[in-house]
Amino acid sequence: MEQIKQFFINIERTDIDENMDNLVSDDVIDSIDIMALVAEIEKHYGKALKAEFINAENFENFASIKKMLESAF
């Protein structure tokens, strides 16, 4: 979870933490934030995140992001 927090810090969203839910559905983050996160994730792992993983449900909260990363990488 610490790495996910670092991804948010890297895109200058220090206001987001692991206790927050509904990041997308409550408009806490938008598509621009998601694409910035994808760029950070790809930079961290050194390879592209497949398009099938880039959807709103996978970015709702830290747990869904973690689960997506475990499946993707």
Domain 2-13+20-72 belongs in CATH node 1.10.1200: yes
As given in the structure block, the two tokens for residue 52 are 């099938």
pTM: 0.95
**What are the sequence ranges of the domains in the chain?**
2-13+20-72
pLDDT for the residue numbered 73: 95
Pick the closest to residue 68 from 28, 29, 41 (CA basis).
Answer: 41
Alpha helices (H) along 1-73: 2-10, 31-45, 62-72
CA distance 5 to 22: 16
pLDDT tens-digit series, residues 7-55: 999 999 999 999 999 999 999 999 999 999 999 999 999 999 999 999 9
| Residue 46 φ/ψ, nearest 5 degrees | 75, 20
pLDDT tens-digit series, residues 55-72: 999 999 999 999 999 999
